[in-house]
Amino acid sequence: MPNAFAYLMLMIWPVACVVMFRRMGIERAIIWAILGGYLLLPPRAVFDLPLVPDFNKTSIPNLCALACCLWVAKRRVPIWPESRVMKVLLFLFLAGTIPTVLTNTDPILFYSVFDAEPVSFVTGGLPGLRIIDVLSVGSQQAITLIPFVLGRAFLSSQTGQRELLLALLVGGLVYSLPALLEIRLSPQINIWVYGFFQHDFGQMMRQGGFRPIVFLPHGLWMAFFFMTSAAAAAVLFRMADRKSRPRLLAATGYLFCVLILCKSLGPLAYGIAVVPAILLAAPKVQIRIAVVFAGIAVLYPVLRDYGLVPLDRILGWAEAIHPDRAQSLGFRFQNEELLLERAHEKWMFGWGGWGRNLVHDLTTGEIISIPDGEWIIVFGTFGWLGYLSKMGLLAVPLFLLLRHARHDRPTRTVAALALILAITLIDMLVNAILTPYTWLIAGAVLGYTESARRQEAKDDSHLRPKAGRPGLAKPLIG
């Protein structure tokens, strides 16, 4: 159980956000209000109030960042994107919770049947959703979108995107110190500070050592954060002047070494792919790679459903690396099969919350499936409508960016952020790793494409010939 200090940290974070917004520029304040909360606040500690979403390390920073933008910085925060496709996706993401609730008002009961007599007894059950849950679920969706909205509004410029990359770099460098301590001593910091361990300790043991976790939900989240930090350091190195380049190159190498020490194969493979691409490839090439990754992520459920994903070959590759990795991946695939079959029963709007999307023993009600990938959790909970709207909000900005890149030269900052966003979409196929700073990145990419489109329209208007005044004709020559 979290100690009193854990709840005190949640309560004082709004004060910290007000201080940041008064002393920093709005871009930096938004980033650190959200990213700082993600890195520092206690996991699993929550204020659970009736009829409203949980107040935890995700929702509190999101709400505080929005409130400070409105009332401390006194800035207008536009909500609706300019693209029609994005408007539809945003609307479906928020309003799609209504049919999910309305189609799941029936409880799910578990029975014990006796063969000797035609009698069955209810041994347990899951509650049906109430109409009033529309407010709670819809509010949770809206809170989730706050970083996306703020990133689009305030991080679309190269300055804002550079601040985001710099924050990822600084956060990685600072967080590496407790991470290295846990690699050496074992994951203990969350216990020392907040009084509990947030996950299964056995999963933090690997290769005769330990994987760090600090204040994040899992060691995989920690490794993935160091991957994004190394990528941020790499792009800042590419953009730096001659004086700063040696330090940024050293930071890139150092963060990559910490990533290796995290002993997580997936994030390490992403780092091997992303960091060299940032260092060697042109921005347009990076964006093309990002779009390919995004396309794979969005189409994966369809390919998976029709048996077009070569699972045996993927498991063979994992087996060649290490038998334990193949066993872990095979376990995920088996659970995906169970959850996918369950999701098909309510494929359009999903099963809703309360664990209704999971597979249970029909007699005891015991959960017999473990969801890992973000995609199967969203698909089972909100159906195709929820999946397409959520993945669309994250992936469509990359396709819009590709369309812009065909006509103009994109910046290195937006290309690197696009690559980080795309690799996150790939990882969401196997892990529920969608974080608040991922939404910030997606919003920043979308805001950049909208700003570029407005600039293109402005330039075209200057080139377009002006119509003559009525009643006057140009003289003919010849």
**What's the rounded mean pLDDT across residues 283-294?**
95
Q: Say what the pLDDT of residue 146 is.
A: 97
**Around Cβ 58, how many Cβ atoms within 10 Å?**
23
Instruction: Give the model's confidence band at 405: pLDDT under 50 very low, under 70 low, under 90 confident, else very high.
Output: confident
Residues 392 and 322 in one domain: yes
pLDDT(476) > 90:
no
- Structural domain count, the chain: 3
**What's the rounded mean pLDDT across residues 130-145?**
91
Instruction: Give the model's confidence band at 73: pLDDT under 50 very low, under 70 low, under 90 confident, else very high.
Output: very high
Q: Say what the pLDDT of residue 110 is.
A: 74
Residue type, 464: R
Which residue reads 């007894």 in tokens?
Answer: 121
Return the structure tokens found at 134: 């529309």
pLDDT(232) > 60:
yes
| Displacement of CA 129 from its chain's centroid (Å) | 26
CA separation for the pair 154, 186 (Å, rounded): 39
CA separation for the pair 365, 7 (Å, rounded): 32
Q: What is the three-class DSSP state of 19?
A: helix
Does any domain span residue 228? yes
Instruction: Give the model's confidence band at 120: pLDDT under 50 very low, under 70 low, under 90 confident, else very high.
Output: low
Q: pLDDT exceeding 70 applies to what percent of the chain?
A: 93
CA separation for the pair 341, 339 (Å, rounded): 5
Residues 122 and 231 in one domain: no
Domain ends where: 77, 93, 117?
77
Q: Say what the pLDDT of residue 472 is.
A: 44
Residues 307 and 369 in one domain: yes
Return the structure tokens found at 391: 């993945």
Does any domain span residue 150? no
Residues 385 and 291 in one domain: yes
Residues 317 and 452 in one domain: yes
CA separation for the pair 79, 450 (Å, rounded): 13
Q: Which one is predicted more confidently, 437 or 311?
A: 437
Q: Say what the pLDDT of residue 128 is.
A: 87
Instruction: Give the model's confidence band at 193: pLDDT under 50 very low, under 70 low, under 90 confident, else very high.
Output: very high
pLDDT(164) > 50:
yes
**What's the rounded mean pLDDT across residues 192-205?**
88
DSSP 129: P
Q: Which one is predicted more confidently, 175 or 107?
A: 175
pTM: 0.91
Q: Say what the pLDDT of residue 316 is.
A: 81
CA separation for the pair 129, 9 (Å, rounded): 32
Q: What is the three-class DSSP state of 222?
A: helix
Report the greatest alpha carbon distance in the chain.
Answer: 108
Does any domain span residue 476? no
pLDDT(469) > 80:
no
Does any domain span residue 292? yes
Element (H, E) at 119: strand 119-126
pLDDT(474) > 50:
no
> 113: buried, middle or exposed (CB in 10 Å: 19+, 13-18, 0-12)?
exposed
pLDDT(420) > 90:
yes
CA separation for the pair 62, 55 (Å, rounded): 10
Question: Please, what sign has the CA dihedral across residues 247, 249, 251, 257?
Answer: negative
Based on C-alpha coordinates, what's the Rg of the chain? 24
**What's the rounded mean pLDDT across residues 221-250?**
95
Return the structure tokens found at 343: 């999701």
- For 172, the domain range is 155-279
Q: Which one is predicted more confidently, 33 or 316?
A: 33
Residues 196 and 216 in one domain: yes
Residues 172 and 256 in one domain: yes
Does any domain span residue 28? yes
Q: Which one is predicted more confidently, 221 or 123?
A: 221
CA separation for the pair 313, 335 (Å, rounded): 18
Q: Say what the pLDDT of residue 475 is.
A: 41
Q: Which region among 9-13, 286-290, 306-310 has the lowest average model confidence (pLDDT)? A: 306-310
Q: Say what the pLDDT of residue 478 is.
A: 35
Domain ends where: 54, 77, 100?
77
Residues 7 and 93 in one domain: no
Residues 221 and 133 in one domain: no
Q: Say what the pLDDT of residue 355 is.
A: 85
Does any domain span residue 275? yes
pLDDT in tens, 336-369: 888 888 888 998 999 998 888 888 877 777 888 8
CA separation for the pair 132, 126 (Å, rounded): 17
Residues 412 and 286 in one domain: yes
DSSP 358: S
Domain ends where: 244, 279, 314?
279
Does any domain span residue 120? yes
> 343: buried, middle or exposed (CB in 10 Å: 19+, 13-18, 0-12)?
buried
Q: Say what the pLDDT of residue 457 is.
A: 72
Instruction: Give the chain's length.
Output: 478
Q: Say what the pLDDT of residue 473 is.
A: 44
| Displacement of CA 367 from its chain's centroid (Å) | 26
User: b/e string for 60-81 if b means 16 or more Cβ within 10 A?
Assistant: bbbbbbbbbbeebbeeeeeeeb
Q: Which residues pair with 109 in a beta bridge?
A: 125
Instruction: Give the model's confidence band at 293: pLDDT under 50 very low, under 70 low, under 90 confident, else very high.
Output: very high
Q: Say what the pLDDT of residue 133 is.
A: 86
pLDDT(114) > 80:
no
Residues 244 and 302 in one domain: no
Instruction: Give the model's confidence band at 389: pLDDT under 50 very low, under 70 low, under 90 confident, else very high.
Output: very high
Does any domain span residue 22? yes
Residues 72 and 88 in one domain: no
pLDDT(89) > 70:
yes
CA atoms within 13 A on the CB side of 289: 22
